[in-house]
Chains A and B, each alone.
Chain A
Amino acid sequence: MLTMHEQQAAREDAELVDEALGGNQLSFQLLVERYQERLFGLARHYTKSAVEVEDIVQDSFLKAYRRLGTFQRQSSFSTWLYRIAVNTALDFLKRSGRSPVQVVEDPELTAAPQRAQAGSGMAVAAPDANLARQEVARITAEVLEELPEIFRTVLVLREFEDLSYQEMADVLGISIGTVESRLFRARARFKEALLRLHPDFATAD
């Protein structure tokens, strides 16, 4: 369910899209301004290079402009744009030899859906209150880097971009059930990598 603010934003996006399709360059520039920070935030999870982040975001917007006529109003412009940006980032990794793990290559991704979380050994403690926010963010970024892009992507979309399961399904072109199981496995992998890199954050399950 969209909030009033989200509905207003969606209306404004739709208007800007129409104006850009009508040849108004400034309207497209306003669309870019609305989403550029979110796309920079998304793209930096795929590369450490600031130049490459900028290339990914720029290409995402250029692709979006070329495909603007195909934008269906059933989903929000932001979801549509995220889909383009995620695909651009994954394409970029593939082309630069940092090939993302494909679903078909990872049996764990195609395995049966989620199981109970209990009994999986050690649990992760919440970050220590004394730990600075930047330090928690740094550790999390370090752990995310350990994960295959397919898991990293679902965690970024859910935990940082605050997308709903339905929006994630739309962005990734998968079912809600697949979103749930992939998210479950991504969290399990994150927990495993966090405990491997920082065993001191373990607590008894």
Chain B
Amino acid sequence: MEPAVKITCDAARPLVPSYLDGELSEAQASPLRTHLLDCPACRETAKAGKALARWFVPEAAPAVPAGFAARVARRAFAGDPGLLVPEPRPVARVRPLLPFLLVASAVAAAVLLGLAIALQRESLPRESALDAREMAPPWLESERRLESELRLEGELRPQAVPQADR
């Protein structure tokens, strides 16, 4: 007879849920059973798992409506895709339209705003047009030129010597 394989608490505890679910092979379950006999702490873990499992009592199953199977089979063979299938339906088609309309409206608004700004700029005088010289009447320039010529002439003319100094 082979000696029983000993396992530690650290190795035993993670196996407890699978053991209670009947998912361990005999090779895994056997050393765990031996360990549970020797270890009160791990035995408590198993006991707690069993206590929790006893809560899983199902409610009475809902009654299947009369003629359900015949109705479903008939619909299946008639090619009915069902109510909840993800294939596009009228409602599903309308929904994606909203984001598109929002984006389209935003783009249209931006274009109109840009256009309005451009037109407004076009109607305003340019910076060069605000220059005072450009805005002055044509005759003013010749007046100015004459004035500066006269000033220059005056500066070059010899000063009149006062009579008393002679």
Within 8 A of A (CB), among B47-61: 48-61
**Closest Cβ neighbor of A58 among chain B residues:** B72
Bound Cα distance from A36 to B64, whole angstroms = 7
> Which residues of A have CB within 8 Å of B18?
165, 180
Chain A CB within 8 A of B44 CB: yes
> Which residues of B have CB within 8 Å of A40?
61-62, 64
Decide if the interface of chain B is mainly helix, strand, loop or mixed: helix
Q: Is the CB of A116 within 8 A of B85?
A: no
Q: Which of A41, A58, A115, A205 contacts B48 (CB 8 A)?
A: A205
Q: Which of A65, A91, A118, A136 contacts B44 (CB 8 A)?
A: A118
Which one of B9, B17, B55 has the highest number of Cβ atoms from chain A below 10 Å of its Cβ?
B55
List 27 A–B pairs whose Cβ atoms lie within 8 Å, in order of A's numbering. Answer: A25-B77, A28-B76, A29-B69, A37-B61, A40-B62, A41-B62, A44-B59, A44-B61, A50-B62, A56-B84, A61-B72, A61-B76, A62-B75, A62-B81, A66-B81, A95-B84, A95-B86, A114-B17, A116-B14, A116-B45, A118-B13, A118-B42, A123-B52, A127-B55, A183-B17, A205-B44, A205-B48
Q: Is the CB of B52 within 8 A of A124?
A: yes
Within 8 A of A (CB), among B4-41: 9-10, 13-14, 16-18, 21, 23, 41
> Which residues of A have CB within 8 Å of B69?
29-30, 32-33, 36
Q: Is the CB of A137 within 8 A of B14?
A: no
CB of A66, distance to nearest CB on chain B (Å): 7
CB of A70, distance to nearest CB on chain B (Å): 15
- Total interface residues on B, CB under 8 Å, equals 46
Q: Is the CB of A137 within 8 A of B59?
A: yes
> Which residues of B have CB within 8 Å of A126?
50-51, 54-55
Q: Is the CB of B48 within 8 A of A117?
A: yes
- Chain A contact residues, CB within 8 Å of chain B: 25-26, 28-30, 32-33, 36-37, 40-41, 44, 50, 53-59, 61-63, 65-66, 88, 91-92, 95, 114-118, 123-127, 133-134, 136-141, 143, 155, 158-160, 164-165, 180, 183-184, 187, 190-191, 194, 203, 205
Q: Is the CB of A58 within 8 A of B14?
A: no
Q: Is the CB of A59 within 8 A of B85?
A: yes
With A140-B58, A205-B44 known, 15 other A-B pairs at CB within 8 A are: A25-B74, A28-B76, A37-B61, A44-B62, A58-B82, A62-B76, A62-B85, A65-B76, A137-B60, A140-B55, A140-B57, A140-B59, A141-B59, A203-B51, A205-B48
> Which residues of A have CB within 8 Å of B42?
118
> Which residues of A have CB within 8 Å of B14?
114-116
Chain A CB within 8 A of B73 CB: yes
Q: Which of B52, B64, B72 contacts A37 (CB 8 A)?
A: B64
Q: Is the CB of A32 within 8 A of B73?
A: yes
> Which residues of A have CB within 8 Å of B81?
62, 66
Bound Cα distance from A117 to B17, whole angstroms = 9
> Which residues of B have CB within 8 Å of A62?
72, 75-76, 80-82, 85
Q: Which 7 A-B pairs have the closest CB atoms?
A: A159-B56, A29-B73, A65-B76, A32-B69, A59-B82, A116-B13, A126-B51
Q: Which of A91, A115, A136 contacts B86 (CB 8 A)?
A: A91
